[in-house]
Amino acid sequence: MRTRTTNEAATGTRPARRVAGVLVAAALCLGAAPGVASATPTNPSDAQLGAAQQQKDAAAQQVGALSAQLASAQAEVDAARAQSAIALDTFQGKQAEHEAAQAAADAATAAARQAEAELAIARSNVADFARQSYVQGSTNPTLEALTTADGPAQMLERAALLEAAGAHQGDVVVQVTAAEQQARTADAAAQTALAAAATLEQEAADALAVAEQLEASARAQAGALATQQATVQQQLQQAQETLLGLQGARAAAQQYAAQQAAAAQAAAARSTTSSSSAGTHQLVSNAGAGDSSAVETAISAARRYLGTIYSWGGGSLSGPSMGWGVDAGIVGFDCSGLTRYAYAQAGVSIPRNSSAQYQALPKVSRSDLQRGDLVFWATNTSNPSTIHHVAIYLGGGQILEAPQSGSVIRVTSMRWGGFIGGARPSA
């Protein structure tokens, strides 16, 4: 049985099959009766064989160099995608801070408006007091009320009433002062909160711009890589055809020489008529623990969206949503959007972005991973701030993930390169 070489596996079977077909045809011609005319294959000289060997070595060297270039280019694309994911993570965190600051600003604004309303009421009360004093002709009607009393009993009654009225008027003045101070304080708090919200909004916008630029760069590199792969594939195919052709020429010449020697021996020993038959031989290859309920609920929720397109920045607590920036208009999930949605269906609340999920949840080592745990990847496995991807561990060396732009939610094999650790939402 002939084992395929590495180069043949890389370049496919069509070139090898074409060359093999040529060799089979040559063998059939060479196996014909000696009396049948056939073209004699040229037996390469030592110099030709040496040149062929040099061409073979050069082709192998070219294959190695091109493979190294592809590996380097792929590493650059992967690094750009990782940095893009980290930048998106930062944006999502800033966006959450901005939303919280905006809510605080709205509450402060509402408090300021309430204080202004109370101040208006208090000022109205003071205006009413001044109006009554003017109508009565005195700002101090107490003496007039007492001197016009019809007797001691009425005087005592009026004195009590006037005392209560005076206390109320004093309260009105105090309320005005307090309302003015409260209005000023509430307005200042509202302005501060609004300024903080505006700053966070700008920071979020800056983070999003960086993320979009990195993602666009990654996609451009990926496109260039695809073009380069096509070129390399063609070069590999041509090199392989050349090598197989040279090897076939040598094999044909050697086979022809052997058959000629056999024919000569047969002719010398021929004394009786003989016949021959050919048989075929077909070689048959016979290629031979957390809350389990929450875990299964989360996995089931994520599985419902297998095949759903990846959307950069997409995914909400209720399901797929519009992406950000380069994926604006695409409805789907990104990696952390999927994990947060899945566990939300199990009643488990986790942060929006991947690095925050890792920081917030109980950690799990590689040897202790269980079904339903979240697994994380980073560009620097000693630095959690470089986390750029998260998936759900299914057990048995399988994960469920929203991998990257241009792909879909899938179940695939666990990858240990860049693995920084696990976390258990169900703990």
CATH topology of domain 292-423: endopeptidase fold (from Nostoc punctiforme) (3.90.1720)
Residues 307 and 409 sit within 8 Å (Cβ to Cβ): yes
Given the residues 98, 215, 388, 389, select the one marked as catalytic: 389
Given the residues 98, 215, 335, 388, select the one marked as catalytic: 335
How far apart are the C-alpha atoms of 19 and 224, rounded to whole Å? Answer: 32
Residue 389 annotated in active site: yes
CA angle (422, 423, 424) in 5-degree steps: 135
Query: CB-based burial of residue 75 (10 Å sphere; 0-12 exposed, 13-18 middle, 19+ buried)?
Result: exposed
CATH topology of domain 1-34+50-268: Helix Hairpins (1.10.287)
What pLDDT does residue 17 have?
40
Q: Spell out the residues 6+ positions from residue 398 whose beta carbon is closer than 8 angstroms to its own.
A: 411, 412, 413, 414
| Predicted TM-score (pTM) of this structure | 0.52
Write out the residue limits of the CATH 1.10.287 domain(s) in the chain. Answer: 1-34+50-268
74 vs 28, 166, 213, CA distance in Å? 46, 86, 18
What pLDDT does residue 90 have?
85
Q: Please tell me the number of Cα atoms within 13 Å of 145 on its side-chain side.
A: 18
What pLDDT does residue 427 have?
80
Q: Are strands 374-378 and 387-395 parallel, antiparallel or unpaired?
A: antiparallel
Residues (pLDDT < 50) of the chain are 1-39, 139, 272-288
How far apart are the C-alpha atoms of 306 and 400, rounded to whole Å? Answer: 9
Residues 11 and 243 sit within 8 Å (Cβ to Cβ): no
Q: What are phi and psi of 241, to 5 degrees?
A: -65, -40
Residues 96 and 340 sit within 8 Å (Cβ to Cβ): no
Q: What are phi and psi of 77, to 5 degrees?
A: -65, -45
- End-to-end Cα spacing for the chain: 54
Q: What pairs with residue 319 in β-bridges?
A: 316
**Please, what is the angle between helix 46-136 and helix 335-344, to 10°?**
60
The closest of 201, 206, 227 to 102, measured between CA atoms, is 201
Q: How many CB atoms lie within 10 A of CB 421?
A: 19
What pLDDT does residue 367 have?
92
How far apart are the C-alpha atoms of 408 and 335, rounded to whole Å? Answer: 11
H/E element holding 75? helix 46-136
243 vs 28, 41, 49, CA distance in Å? 22, 18, 12
Kindly state the tokens that stand for 252.
């044909």
Q: How many residues does the chain have?
A: 427
Q: Which residues of 260-293 are buried (b: 16+ CB within 10 A; e: fewer)?
A: eeeeeeeeeeeeeeeeeeeeeeeeeeeeeebbee
How far apart are the C-alpha atoms of 314 and 327, rounded to whole Å? Answer: 8
Residue 335 annotated in active site: yes
How far apart are the C-alpha atoms of 84 and 418, rounded to whole Å? Answer: 16
How far apart are the C-alpha atoms of 423 and 339, rounded to whole Å? Answer: 12
Q: Spell out the residues 6+ positions from residue 19 whose beta carbon is closer than 8 angstroms to its own.
A: 241, 244, 245, 248
What pLDDT does residue 162 have?
58
Write out the residue limits of the CATH 3.90.1720.10 domain(s) in the chain. Answer: 292-423
How far apart are the C-alpha atoms of 360 and 384, rounded to whole Å? Answer: 12
